[in-house]
Amino acid sequence: MTYLTPTLRERLLALVDAQPVPSFRKAGGAARTTATDRPTSTTLLNIRPAHREDFPELLLIFRKVLAAGDACVLSADTPVAEAYDYWFGAGVDSWVAEMNGRVVGMCRLTANQKGRGSHVAGGSIMVDPNTRRKAVGLALGRHLLLEARKDGFLAMQLNMVVSSNRASLALAEKLGFSIVGTLPRAFAHPWLGPVDAYVMHRFL
């Protein structure tokens, strides 16, 4: 695990402060908490709303996942401001999973489309590569489904599940999603070349 130095943490948070304040999708969405709300967790796994102070830890995990290049369309050099928007931008609700007080994964919930497509949710999950296969992804996935239902979404759609990403595919199936379409050679895999991607769906 790479730890953040105090200086790096301060610099990242200063960058975050320079971002416009996001407006959130719904007042009833993920409750935004402040640093004082942070649980001093003694529980093994805790899922709670993500807040600004978590961004440096989120960014580390996000960068590791993007650097691997085999799961997500975003490129490894996605700028910090875009990374912040991805997790905290308008219309995004996000949560972190903490294990013994340390952030080990996160998920985000959005509407998949605007307007007449906005009753279908979209979501994504990322888990620290050092903490995989400990049921963190499953817990985040179940949490996403609960939150999406609470928000009134009727279904959830995953727009691009890379066909070679066995972990993601198996997790989605375990969460009740099924493949409703195949996008031929839609994902530029770093060592396999163009591979198919699946659109996966489930009603809530």
Binders in 101-160 for ligand COA, by CB under 6 A? 124-127, 132-138
Given the complex with ligand COA, which of 31 and 44 has the nearer CB atom?
Answer: 44
- Minimum CB distance to ligand COA smaller for 15 or for 135: 135
In the complex, least distance from residue 151 CB atom to ligand COA, rounded to whole angstroms: 19
Residues across the chain: 204
CB 194, min distance to ligand COA, A: 18
Q: Can you say whether the dihedral through the CA atoms of 190, 109, 153, 138 is positive or negative?
A: positive
Q: Residue 97 CB, nearest distance to ligand COA (Å)?
A: 8
The window from 30-38, 109-117, 169-177, 186-194 that contacts ligand COA (CB under 6 A) reads 169-177
DSSP 143: H
Does residue 65 belong to the site contacting ligand COA (CB under 6 A)?
yes
Nearest distance from residue 7's CB to ligand COA, in Å?
28
What is the binding site for ligand COA (CB under 6 A)? 65, 71, 124-127, 132-138, 165-168, 170-171, 174
